[in-house]
Copies of this chain bind each other. A is one copy, B any other.
Amino acid sequence: MRHDHIISAKQLSRADIEAVLDHAADIAADPAAYADRHADTLLGMLFFEPSTRTKMSFTTAMKRLGGDIVDMGSVESSSVKKGESLADTVRVVEGYADALVLRHPMEGSAKMASEFVDVPLVNAGDGAGQHPTQTLLDLYTIRENAGFDDLTIGIMGDLKYGRTVHSLAHALTNVDAHQHFISPESLQLPRSVRYDLHQEGAEVREHTALEEILPELDVLYVTRIQRERFPDESEYRAVAGQYQIDTETLEAAKDDLTVMHPLPRVDEIAHDVDDTDYATYFEQAHNGVPVRMALLDLLLEAHQ
């Protein structure tokens, strides 16, 4: 893999993706072997909006590689409040760190910021844009649990606004998965995403009910349907209730179905699923560490 910055999962070829996942698997198999790999490395953390989970996961990844972080802290306490531009902020912080992680509410901000710095920059989410490390950890979890060969995956919930879902769908096309999208009509894939997927040669089918397709699935990826998307509470409840799963729902599934969720969940997956072999969402969250360790290691090695 040879990239200076990781801005979007789309920039990664299938070979790039396999390289990251293979390296992540090696790391997960023997993390102690990597404990001093980047002992004097500082990772600059620029989180312009809160994202505890992603921040903790990157922090853990860097520290598990022997390095450390330098954190900008919250925007409220930063120079941004004094009117500093993103370009200036990243150029200053570049002087403190050997690589940067950027989370920013504005789509395209990671790409723009990367043009001002010489150290590797990883996009940790830019508004409605990309969040490539989430996609990589999703792919890693899928590959470890179901494999990419002849993979049939269902993606359910809010497919309209979910950045996670759009990124994942593009990447799954890359590995020739059979993709099923399950959602209420009002939250179906945006036309533009559907169009792009078709252009890329994706095999895509859409459903409004999980039961139509559940028995065929190797992986069911559940996302949250947000209350704010609906004009009133009763409409939300009526719709959301149809896209919640519990152990009863899963009786119709294959025995080795893998259930994933990007978390946090609210009530899309009942707690009785947690103790079944289907439940892979906590493992999925934990996989963020070896995947981000792998990505940071590859970027830092390539940059030296």
Contacts and interface: CB of A to CB of B under 8 A. Distances in A.
Interface of A: 32, 35, 39-40, 42, 44, 50-53, 55-57, 59-60, 63-64, 68, 70-74, 76-79, 82-84, 87-89, 91-97, 263-266, 271, 282-283, 285-286, 288-289
Contact of A266 (B51, B83, B282): B83
B68 A50 contact: no
Query: Which residue, A51, A88, A265, A286, has most C-beta atoms of chain B within 10 A?
Result: A88
B285 A53 contact: no
A261 to B, nearest CB: 10
A88 B271 CA distance: 10
Contacts of A40: 32, 35, 64
Given A53-B92, A77-B52, A63 B82 contact: no
A78 B52 contact: yes
Contact of A42 (B39, B60, B77): B60
Nearest to A97: B60
A35 B42 CA distance: 12
A174 to B, nearest CB: 26
Given A82-B266, A264-B79, A266-B82, A96 B42 contact: no
A63 B70 contact: yes
Nearest to A60: B96
Contacts of A68: 63, 68
A83 B50 contact: no
Nearest to A50: B77
Nearest 5 Cβ contacts at the A-B interface: A95-B286, A50-B77, A84-B264, A79-B264, A60-B96
Contacts of A97: 60
B70 A52 contact: no
25 contacts: A44-B56, A50-B73, A50-B77, A52-B72, A52-B73, A52-B79, A53-B79, A55-B73, A56-B93, A57-B96, A59-B71, A60-B70, A63-B68, A79-B263, A79-B264, A82-B266, A88-B264, A88-B265, A91-B282, A92-B263, A92-B282, A94-B286, A95-B282, A95-B289, A96-B286
A159 to B, nearest CB: 19
Contacts of A88: 263-265
Nearest to A52: B78
Given A50-B77, A50-B78, A63-B68, A96 B264 contact: no
Contacts of A286: 92, 94-96
B95 A76 contact: no
A257 to B, nearest CB: 20
Contacts of A82: 264, 266
Nearest to A55: B73
B74 A70 contact: no
A31 to B, nearest CB: 9
A44 B63 CA distance: 12
Query: Which residue, A68, A87, A264, has most C-beta atoms of chain B within 10 A?
Result: A264
